[in-house]
Structure 1
Amino acid sequence: MTGITVRSVQALKPGETIWDAGHREAVRGFGVRRQRGHPTYVVKYRVFGRQRFFTIGPHGSPWTPTNARKEAKRLLGLVADGKDPADERAQAWLRATDTLSKIADEYLKHAKQKQRPRTYSEIERYLTSVWKPLHSVSVFHIRRRHIAARLTEIATDRGPVTAARARAALSAMFNWAIREGLDIPANPVVGTNRQAEPKSRDRVLTDVELAEIWSACRDDEYGRMTKLLILTAQRRDEVGSMRWLEIDPENKSWIIPGSRTKNHRDHILPLADAALALIEASPHHRDFVFGDGPRRRGDRQRGFSGWSKSKAALDARIIEARRKVIEDAKPLPDWRLHDLRRTAATVMADRLGVLPHIVEAILNHVSGHRAGVAGVYNRARYEAEMREALKRWSEHVSALVA
């Protein structure tokens, strides 16, 4: 039997093989064999002196004698160029399994060791949730047009800020993957339009607004944390993840470890009496000063969560109080918890006479003479000035709400 035709393939019996021959289009090494089931097209070749067989596919759509013969020519061309079709297929399979979901998971393991908890949680949200529509696509097949189209969707559905930060997270992941050795030609995020993020906020609350916020705080965890944010001028997550072992009641101070600060430097913050009283009002039987605690046996305790829900409830109480005075009063204009930190710093510097470098020390900003070895010395030297400044600020807030 010579030549591979539809009729000869259909006539194959189990255990028989036909090699292409006997006609002008015959391809040496191209064959079809039938073992138990359907006939299967194969190609045999030699690599480094060893004979190998490569399965093209079973007879039927899309593999006909004509199509299989063309594929055999292509594969033998690879062999002539020194490539092994079997290796090519293995690499193609690996590329197909390297989906965005898989690579994102690997990158997040790396990022978790490098990033602060809040930064990591944001990156995780962008990669696992915002980019989910592309999760099943191989990173080798993701193109700039895929990313650009998805960024447009994100900007429309979730806003330009989310789109800009999701873009940054994905770009960082691709850069990491390339450095890890994935043979991606280039970062496909590069060249896509960058969404414009809003300018840095400069909102400083008025005395009346600050008093409204304080008065609307309940005697619960969120209320005490919000008041602490006002009195200490520290960051939300630093207060929300405060631990009892960080509090030194004897010296009336709070030692925030570098693992939880933005600049990765330990921060020793003096506490005014009012601030210390807010902390002491929390239960002492757990590690965290504020937080949900373990919900089930074996759960890991964590700091406070539920910021958004609690903030919305606080805003509702503020507008309720306003409408008791003015029936059609409007909500407190756009404000965020971080504005409390900016307000404290501004009032201390502009109205309470606190020197700029003392304000910087309270905020744990590192610049100029506070960097390096001098920073450690100055931090200790400024403790008395910081304590006096925060005492003055606490008295100012007390006078506002009185």
Structure 2
Amino acid sequence: MPRIAKPLSALEVKRIDKRGHHTVGGVPGLLLSIAKGGSRSWTLRILIGGKRRDIGLGGYPGVSLAQARERAEDMRWRVRNEGIDPVLERQQAHSALLAAQAKAITFEKVAREVIARKQAEAGNLKHARQWESTLETYAFPTLGKMAVSDIELAHIKEVLEPIWTTRTETATRVRQRIEAVLAYAIVSGYRETSNVAVWKGNLDAILPAPAKIAPVRNHRALPFDEMYGFVSALADREGNAARCLEFTVLTAARSGEARGARWEEISLEDRVWIIPGDRMKTGKEHRVPLSGTAIKLLDAMPRDRELIFPAPRGGQLSDAAMSALLKRMKINATVHGFRSSFRDWAAERTSTPNQIAEMALAHTVKGVEGAYRRGDLLAKRARLMDQWAEFIETAPATGNVSAIRSSEVVNDG
């Protein structure tokens, strides 16, 4: 048991100015500690389980001598009678506080982390912006400021039910994105409870299946046997929207890929269009073989600009430009639907292997074939695109050319 030093008075304690630890008496192990900079604090030095512990009791003079003695007595009593280790107890309390603070992180903050990761992983800014937009519009108003650890099934229902039957496709994506955010929160230690946004065995018990309330609809596609009449009518149209749509049809490309096409991506000599990965849905570079018809179209376009098919006032054509053109031509199809027209033609009118047709559309080839395929079959795809160009430029054998063709030239800008 430590020796009890002679109790010092408050005035005597005040006069101590030497750096180090000074016994002040009254309670065994009570010290006034003076640091190098002159700051003063109270310390209780005590043995706990055979180990010496220095326990801080507060700063001096904020904690007076009398208060320090009272705290020291209380601490010694707890150690002796309750068997506690105050240092370990404080460490555990601090750890619990940090854990509680981590779990208090909001849904919005976690969602921002997930969006940033998706941008870094995929390099697809458009996809990341869609994530951000849907969550900001539908999830953040209800969940944004909530601690991610506190979100329950009722909150997910509150987000989804108002749009589940009216905007089913959007609601499905919102659910999937909320599920991804909560999954990230769980593995990051922000949330301990289950993922209440999962569908199977959870939300499927309280919400109708999306397929039953909003059957999946494919993009409207023009039957491939009508392509000759359509392309003939399209040739009568002037303007970059018409030329871009022609190029889109000839290359079976996505609208955004064609609208963003740049001269630097084109090699007329090699007859190939190389689309960089940051403009592809897959995030990977894609080589598109160009048919003779596509080369002829490009040869007729001005080359004194970066974009091949710019908008009339500069910049990239809008997503609606070609859709509006189709509407004016009274064509019941979407721009994206021409990819389906191409795919149906390849399957029904050619002997093209499935993987070549899929690669022509820049689709990922799955399964064993995809796992072992290293090249992009450019030469074989080139022959396919030449066949496609020849098909859509050749009048049907019946001679019944669709009345789509217009006798007057229309400028579509």
Normalised to the residue count of structure 1, the TM-score between the two structures is: 0.62
Q: Is the 8 A contact 2:107 2:147 kept in 1?
A: yes
Amino acid at match of 1:205: L
Contact 2:272–2:289 under 8 Å retained in 1: yes
1:388 matches 2:386? yes
Q: 1:177 aligns with which of 175, 185, 199?
A: 185
The CA distance in 1 between the partners of 2:103 and 2:373, in whole Å, is 52
Deviations 1:218-245 (A, max 9, x none): 5334332222221111222322332322
Aligned to 1:238: 257
1:139 to 117, 140, 148: 148
Contact kept? 1:221, 1:290, Cα under 8 Å: yes
Corresponding residue of 2:343: 345
**2 CA distance for matches of 1:107 and 1:145?**
23
Contact 1:348 1:393 survives alignment (8 Å) = no
- Counterpart CA distance in 1 for 2:58 and 2:115 is 40
- 1:216/1:393 Cα in 2 relative to 1: closer, same or farther (>3 Å)? closer
1:231–1:393: 8 Å Cα contact kept in structure 2?
no
Q: What residue is the counterpart of 1:36 in the other structure?
A: none
The CA deviation string for residues 304-343 of structure 1, in whole angstroms up to 9 with x for no partner, is 4631x43553354134xxxxxxxxxxxx55x332211010
Identify the residue that residue 210 of structure 2 maps to in structure 1. Answer: 196
Q: 1:184 to 1:244 in 2, by over 3 A?
A: farther
Match of 2:107 in 1: 100
* AA at the equivalent of 1:390: W
Deviation at 1:379, TM superposition (A): 0.8
Distance 2:273 2:232 in 1: 22
Native 8 Å contact 1:107 1:177 kept in 2 = no
Aligned counterparts of 2:103 and 2:174: Cα–Cα separation in 1: 24
Q: Cα–Cα, structure 1 residues 240 and 118, in superposed 2: closer, same or farther, change >3 Å?
A: farther
**Which digits, 9 at most, give the CA deviation of each residue in 1:329-379, with x for residues without a partner?**
xxx55x33221101022124324x352344334224425685356541x71
- Give 1:172 shift: 1.4
Alpha-carbon offset, residue 163 of structure 1: 0.5
Aligned residue number for residue 370 of structure 2: 371
* Contact 1:123-1:169 at 8 Å conserved across structures: yes
Quick one: higher RCO (CA 8 Å, sep 6+), 1 or 2?
Answer: 2
Q: Is the 8 A contact 1:286 1:293 kept in 2?
A: no
Residues in 1 aligned to 2:54 and 2:191: alpha-carbon distance in whole angstroms: 25
Taking every aligned residue pair, what percent have the same amino acid on both sides? 25
SS of residue paired to 2:274: strand
Larger deviation, residues 162-171 vs 187-196: 187-196
Q: For the Cα contact (< 8 Å) 1:104–1:128, is it kept in 2?
A: no
- Secondary structure of the residue aligned to 1:254 is strand
Counterparts of 1:104 and 1:356 in 2: how far apart (Å)? 42
Structure 2: runs of 5+ lacking an equivalent: 1-52, 60-85, 406-413
Alpha-carbon distance, 1:392 to partner: 1.9
- Describe the shift of the 1:102–1:282 C-alpha distance in structure 2 as closer, same or farther (beyond 3 A): farther
Could you list the runs of 5+ residues in structure 1 that have no partner in the other structure? 1-46, 54-78, 296-300, 320-331
Q: What is the total number of aligned residue pairs between the two structures?
A: 308
**Which residue of 1 is the match for residue 324 of structure 2?**
313
Deviation of 1:161 (Å) = 0.5
Change (3 A) 1:313 1:360: closer
Alignment counterpart, residue 121 of structure 1, candidates 122, 129, 137:
129
CA contact (8 A) 2:219 2:336 kept: no
Show the counterpart of 2:238: 219
Partner of 1:254: 273
Instruction: Please tell me the residue identity of whatever aligns with 2:318.
Output: G
2-side partners of 1:241 and 1:164: how far apart?
A: 29
Query: How far off its partner does 1:168 sit?
Result: 0.8
Instruction: Rate the CA distance shift 1:279–1:113 in 2: closer, same or farther, 3 A.
Output: farther
Task: For 1:250, give the aligned amino acid.
Answer: E
CA distance in 1, matches of 2:254, 2:370: 20
Alignment partner of 1:181: what SS?
Answer: coil
Counterpart Cα distance in 2 of 1:107 and 1:293: 38
Residue deviations 1:40-92 (CA, integer Å, cap 9, x gap): xxxxxxx9844479xxxxxxxxxxxxxxxxxxxxxxxxx9x947667656655
- Judged with a 3 Å threshold, the aligned counterparts in structure 2 of structure 1 residues 211 and 152 are, in CA distance, closer, same or farther, namely farther
- The 1-side partners of 2:348 and 2:227 are apart by 18
What are the within-5 Å matches in structure 2 for residues 10-29 of structure 1? none
Q: 2:220 touches 2:337 (CA, 8 Å); kept in 1?
A: yes
**What SS does structure 2 have at the residue aligned with 1:269?**
strand
Q: Deviations over 1:87-124 (max 9, x none)?
A: 6566555544x222222222111111223344333222
Letter of the 1:187 counterpart: N
Max Rg structure: 2
Q: Secondary structure at the match of 1:228?
A: helix
Please give the secondary structure, in 2, of the residue aligned with 1:251: coil
Tell me by how many angstroms 1:181 deviates. 3.4
Looking at structure 1, the residues matched to 181 and 305 of structure 2 have their Cα atoms a distance apart, in angstroms, of 37
Task: Return the alpha-carbon distance in structure 2 between the equivalents of residues 48 and 141 of structure 1.
Answer: 39
Give the equivalent residue in structure 2 for 1:112.
Answer: 119
